[in-house]
Structure 1
Amino acid sequence: MIRHVIRHESQPRNERVHATLLATTKHTLMTHLITTLSLTLLTGLSSAHAIAQDIPARPETIVFQPLVFNAPKASDFRHVLSNGVVVFLAPTRELPLIDLTMSFKGGDYLEPADKVGLAGLTGTMLRTGGTESLAPTELDEKLDFLATQISIRSRGANTSASIDCLSANFDESLTLLIDMLRRPRFDAGKQKIAVDAALESMKQRNDEADSILSREWAMHLYGVDHFEAREPTEASIRAITKEDMVAFASRVFNPGNTIVSVSGDFDSTEMLAKLERAFANWPLGTRMENPPAPPSTFAPGVFHVEKEIPQGNVIIGTRSLMRDDPDFFASLMMNEILGGGGFTSRITKTVRSDEGLAYSAGSRLNAGVYYPGEFRAAFQSKNATVPLAIKLIENEFAKIRAEDVSAEELAVAKNSFIETFPRSFESKPAMLGIFVDDEWTGRDAAYWQSYRDNITKVSAADIKRVANRLLDPKQMAIFVVGDWDTISVGNARATMAEVNNDSATQLPLRDPMTMQPMP
């Protein structure tokens, strides 16, 4: 998203070295695996005839055993250091590698209004700007030699610092990360490079219609002054000083404001001892406050930004609900059937498959943790067919509010969530990432154990009720970027007058460097 033009992970020079070592390790393991499989194959040839006799005559007669998967419990991986820092550990001996992530609370919402971009620039400079004892080039050379990748990212409500390294080099890699967080140099030369790159990226903000649409939608959804919608400008980036970054880093990066997760090739007892030593002399600090809720009221209506392009880009949406809302699971099923389920969903079938109006058409629903999230349907279509596509989507809104979904639709939606559920935990880093998020946000400890049961309980009546709650057209806003003269006229089957009663607000295109409306 364009608002993160400087909120990017730096690209360290050691990536190719790290990739080469990792590839070598994987090649050795694959060679061993191929040899083992070859021996197994030769051994099994004698029983091939017996196995062939058990194969059903036709595919539809195959009987699959029920999938048995028990969701892991965070408590089985959770530890607490002597200073109170929560640590999640998941040792595995698959590869001689270790992944460590320190998650810190705080990000864009802590930026002063006149220095938007501070969080992202601080993260970039912590990685590229050197330490008190190591110049930027010296730090890069050390990481190259160790084949260690260190990433520091700041976005939205959280900031993270991570290590991806060989297990043999973990101790020195961890020492370097702690040094970067506690004693950053913020090299002036590197800051100029980062600022110049951010400004160059800003110039491209209006190149793509999707970027314009996402930006204007966020400003409308959250309010122009909310951190979810604010955009860094040339002035705000240039205003950031070394002192600003020092203050931000010292406020956010402290043991009292972090949760640590580690996966890979290590012994848990030894890892906890290493982390104890790493945090031993680091002042505890304080935990950051929660992000603020949007102060503005969401306003329905039709809004458009003029851009001479052959296709109109459209969002139809509104605010949704909170993550812990009793209707959360029913809303997931509703969105899956309506437009979130790909080719099995109604919006995709109607707008793309049946009418051929768009290559991509669907919907998504995000439930917020600290304030309500969003529901949106979106598509891109030829300018002249934008009104028809909007009309068809609004018809789907009306249908799901008026009629029960079919038993087949409900079964497909439920199975989609239930059968893909284990994939959320298919890797150790992904699993620990879930546990860290839940720790930060205070999610019910039994949430994942009861997840599939809560999906199963959703009824057609629940979906109809939630659709009537969330999909009221009178409470929705329609945002369009495209050639409005062509879009408004539409075609013989639909015009924008049928959608908005000839009432639409034109939004000016914003200057990419100032975010102020252009004449």
Structure 2
Amino acid sequence: MLRIIFAFLIGLTATTAQAEIDIKEITSPGGIDAWVVEEPAIPFIAMEIRFRGGTSLDEPGKRGAVSLMTGLLEEGAGDMDAQDFQTAREALAASYGFRAFDDSLNISARFLTENQDEALELLRKLLVEPRFDQDAIDRVRAQVLSGIASDAKDPGTIASQAFDAAAFGDHPYGSPRAGTIESVTALTRDDIVAAHRNVLTRDRLYVSVVGDIRAEDVGPMLDNLLGALPAEGTPAPTDAGFALAGGMTVIDFDTPQAVALFGHEGMERDDPDFFAAFMANHILGGRGFGSRLMQEVREERGLTYGIGTSLVPMFHAEMIIGQVASANDTIAEAIAVTRAEWERIATEGVTAAELEKAKTYLTGAYPLRFDGNDEIAKIMVGMQMTGLTPDYVIDRNDFVEAVTLEQINRVASALFQPDNLHFVVVGQPVGLETQ
């Protein structure tokens, strides 16, 4: 058992106080691994469960099955229908959240210590004994179809879906997680059951528990909660690659403000240069008003309310992407400035002052993320999924401080590729056309 102590600021009361986190790695008698933080100050437990794979595990021709299945997990289990479940959950003052993403199915549970056994039994039924009643399938399917129809009218979603389709083609990354009107309409109860069997399996499992519980009690608890799930699921898809070359795609859409999504291939999370890339991206298009793009596109020229970029290292592909919205008659200028800044950081790099400013911000902001049991549980399960160890919470700021000006500029010259930058613009932009 590994014990790691990390000092951070945690908001347990109205006043932010100094506290410590003690991450304990445990393995249940049944072989389920988990990270645990004992925090007895509040009689409350936060649990995060991740199943690696998510909507990328949709079977061919069944796009949207995992997403629909996830939406049905709260619609009754065992001997309880949807209404019975809601009544039981409210009586326990427990909360459960279920969300499906490209690479994971995420489950969040929050409950009082005094209701622990009942809350966990209710969660166990949801995970192991979902009913998937036909009336619930029809009701949730209608909600999903309504969401898909709404997305078809949203410029940002249209841009994102077009970018993904061009970049990833037939790979699951290339189509919407929720599916299409046609694919979701065609899904049967058997498809939902198969999606549940394929995704919720112990070989894909990551767990973190934070709160008023002893680490030695977590293992038996997890065996009871998750031990009845299948041992293995369907194979993961192959790597997606990135097929989108540099250029411009304009999608005509009647809106006064055009939306542009832009980017190209990125960097793997376990690359030795990832921290340098992360910091270079922060300087170019990171959060807040201090990035180059915010300064040049918004502050200096007033072309947008906001612009930002992100490194997106997924399990089967890597991207660096950004988004900006501007009026149809100014989006071309916003894109031209973005291209120029993309090329400038690639050719000129960053300054020593920018690097030091980024280090100050990133090292100062990191401890503030550990704000309560919920956030700690989410951070820990994310660390597990990306192959990090508990030491990371201690070492992370050292990794940031270790980045040198020579390193970040070497990485920036390789990471930012102006010739490969592709813009997908949705709107009626003046002076732009597909190329």
What residue is the counterpart of 1:103 in the other structure?
50
- 1:324: Cα distance to partner? 1.3
The structure where strand makes up a greater share of residues is 2
Whole-angstrom distance in 1 between the partners of 2:434 and 2:245: 13
Q: Is the 8 A contact 2:248 2:423 kept in 1?
A: yes
What residue is the counterpart of 1:397 in the other structure?
342
What residue is the counterpart of 1:4 in the other structure?
none
Is structure 2 residue 352 aligned with structure 1 residue 422? Answer: no
Question: Rg: which structure is higher?
Answer: 1
Letter in 1 for 2:347: A
Q: Is the 8 A contact 1:85 1:256 kept in 2?
A: no
Give the unaligned 5+ runs of structure 2.
1-11
- The structure with higher relative contact order (CA 8 Å, sep 6+) is 2
SS at match of 2:45: strand
SS at match of 2:73: helix
Whole-angstrom distance in 1 between the partners of 2:220 and 2:60: 41
Matches within 5 A, 1:130-209: 130-209=76-155
The structure where helix makes up a greater share of residues is 1
Percent of paired sites with the same residue: 27
SS at match of 2:329: helix
Q: 1:324 and 1:125, CA in 2 relative to 1: closer, same or farther beyond 3 A? A: same
Whole-angstrom distance in 2 between the partners of 1:387 and 1:79: 54
Of 150-159 and 180-189, the range deviating more from structure 2: 150-159
Partner deviation per Cα, 1:453-482 (whole Å, 9 max, x = no partner): 222222333232222212222111121112
SS at match of 1:374: strand
What residue is the counterpart of 2:26 in the other structure?
79
Q: Is the 8 A contact 1:340 1:364 kept in 2?
A: yes
* Candidates 290, 298, 305, aligned match of 1:359: 305
SS at match of 1:100: strand
Is structure 2 residue 363 aligned with structure 1 residue 433? Answer: no
What residue is the counterpart of 1:323 in the other structure?
269
- 1:120: Cα distance to partner? 1.3
Whole-angstrom distance in 1 between the partners of 2:351 and 2:249: 34
Q: Is the 8 A contact 1:108 1:155 kept in 2?
A: yes
- 1:277: Cα distance to partner? 4.1
Partner deviation per Cα, 1:226-260 (whole Å, 9 max, x = no partner): 22231312221122222222222233324444233
Q: Is the 8 A contact 1:318 1:475 kept in 2?
A: yes
What is the RMSD computed on CA atoms of the aligned residues? Answer: 2.7
Give the unaligned 5+ runs of structure 1.
1-28, 35-67, 489-495, 497-502, 506-519
What residue is the counterpart of 1:47 in the other structure?
none
Q: Is the 8 A contact 1:136 1:187 kept in 2?
A: no
Of 350-359 and 94-103, the range deviating more from structure 2: 94-103
Whole-angstrom distance in 2 between the partners of 1:411 and 1:166: 43
Q: 1:91 and 1:118, CA in 2 relative to 1: closer, same or farther beyond 3 A? A: same
- 1:352: Cα distance to partner? 0.9
What residue is the counterpart of 1:373 in the other structure?
318
- 1:217: Cα distance to partner? 1.5
- 1:186: Cα distance to partner? 0.9
TM-score scaled by length of structure 1: 0.75
Whole-angstrom distance in 2 between the partners of 1:91 and 1:288: 34
Q: 1:274 and 1:206, CA in 2 relative to 1: closer, same or farther beyond 3 A? A: closer
Q: 1:394 and 1:279, CA in 2 relative to 1: closer, same or farther beyond 3 A? A: closer
SS at match of 1:204: helix
Matches within 5 A, 1:231-310: 231=176, 232-278=179-225, 282=228, 285-286=231-232, 289-295=235-241, 297-310=243-256
Q: Is the 8 A contact 2:306 2:325 kept in 1?
A: yes
